């Protein structure tokens, strides 16, 4: 397929015809490998916070800077979608509310959104992390078995409605819109 800008608007939705791909999964699930493939196949911009956090701060969280960085990357993603180019967010997106907010933001500007989930068994998960830390320690951060277990408990896997791209639910109580929710979750996310 040619550049995203030449694709008919009905392929992923209305408006620009561009699609926001949300790659969902835990560290070591294969998200980055899939995100690279999606970016190549769709001539999409791939945005990965770890590619910025480690070189800039040497730490995956850096005292809350990850949320700020993710907000800037989301703002960039929305601008790129407006230009008619697909975007792949390789963020993990463990929470349903995060994914709902991003789906709503994409839809609000006429772009499509596709949730792509990579489940992984605990055994495979631990092996991949061990191998990654041995082979490319400069590109990752230390992850312990306790981290893996804690993260696996926190992950809210997408349900069939999310995976099928059905309607986005209403924002949580107390939030007027998903844009308001997103601006709080990712402090630098422009609406």
97-152 residue pLDDT tens? 999 999 999 999 899 999 999 999 999 989 988 888 888 776 667 788 899 999 99
Domain boundaries in the chain? Answer: 14-167
What pLDDT is stored for residue 113 in this prediction? 97
Question: Can you tell me the mean pLDDT for 29-56?
Answer: 92
Please tell me the CATH superfamily of domain 14-167, with its number: P-loop containing nucleotide triphosphate hydrolases (3.40.50.300)
**What is the percent of the chain with per-residue pLDDT over 90, rounded to a whole number?**
64
Per residue in 30-41, pLDDT (tens digit) is 998 999 999 999
What pLDDT is stored for residue 53 in this prediction? 83
Report the predicted TM-score, pTM, of the whole model to 2 decimal places: 0.85
Q: Which residue has the higher pLDDT, 191 or 116?
A: 116
Sequential DSSP letters for the chain: ---GGGS-TTTTSSTT--EEEEEE--TTSSHHHHHHHHHHHHTPEEE-THHHHHHHHSSSSTTTHHHHHHHHHHHHHHHHHHTT--EEEEEE--SHHHHHHHHHHHHHTT-EEEEEE----HHHHHHHHHHHHHH-GGGS----HHHHHHHHHH-----HHHHHT-PPPPPPTT-S-HHHHHHHHSTT---
């Amino acid at each position: 397929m040619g550049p995203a800008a030449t694709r008919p608007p009905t392929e992923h939705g209305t408006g620009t015809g561009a699609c926001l791909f949300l790659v969902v999964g835990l560290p070591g699930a294969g998200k980055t490998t899939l995100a690279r493939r999606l970016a190549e196949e769709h001539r999409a911009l791939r945005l990965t916070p770890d590619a910025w956090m480690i070189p800039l701060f040497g730490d995956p969280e850096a005292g809350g800077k990850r949320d700020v960085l993710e907000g800037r990357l989301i703002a960039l993603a929305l601008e790129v979608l407006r230009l008619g180019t697909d975007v792949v967010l390789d963020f993990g997106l463990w929470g349903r509310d995060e994914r709902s907010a991003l789906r709503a933001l994409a839809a609000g500007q006429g772009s499509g959104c596709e949730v792509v989930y990579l489940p992984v068994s605990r055994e495979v998960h631990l092996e991949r992390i061990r191998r990654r830390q041995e082979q490319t320690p400069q590109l990752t951060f230390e992850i312990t078995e306790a981290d893996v277990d804690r993260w696996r408990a926190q992950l809210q896997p997408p349900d069939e409605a999310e995976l099928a791209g059905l309607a986005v639910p209403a924002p949580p109580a107390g939030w007027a819109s998903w844009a308001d929710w997103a601006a709080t979750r990712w402090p630098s996310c422009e609406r």
